Structure 1
Amino acid sequence: MPQLSPLNWIFLFLLFWLAVLTISILIWWSSNTFFKPEHLEESKSQENKWNW
């Protein structure tokens, strides 16, 4: 394995933690219940309270 400059080690370190953070955010976002279809169906079945 070739020698890396200190700047490249810093870039690798940042890239690793950026990947960990991105995967963690994707896992958290996929487990969110904000946009589940059953919530959309419940909102459709409610009466419209506006008069127009």
Structure 2
Amino acid sequence: MPQLSPLNWIFLFILFWVAVLSISVMIWWVKKVYFSPEISKRFEIKENKWNW
């Protein structure tokens, strides 16, 4: 393995964590729940029977 300068190690470290964070954000974005009127119409919304 070739020796890298300290600046290149810092760049590799930053690049690694940017990749990890971007992949985790993409996974979160795909799996997040969308609360939109079209989706909520599919579910029957029951009236609240409590008086509070």
TM-score, shorter chain, exceeding 0.5: yes
Runs of 4+ displaced beyond 2 Å: none
Q: CA deviation at 1:35?
A: 7.0
Q: Does 1:28 align with 2:25?
A: no
**Does 2:8 correspond to 1:4?**
no
What's the Cα RMSD here?
Answer: 2.4
Within a 5 Å distance, the mapping from 1:41-52 to structure 2 comes to: 42=41
Distance 2:35 2:15 in 1: 30
- How many residue pairs were aligned? 41
> Structure 2 length normalisation: TM-score?
0.66
Q: Does 1:15 align with 2:9?
A: no
Gaps of 5+ in 1: 43-52
Superposed CA deviations along residues 4-48 of structure 1, whole A, max 9, x for unmatched, are 000000000000000000010001000012178x618x3xxxxxx
TM-score between the two structures when normalised by the length of structure 1: 0.66
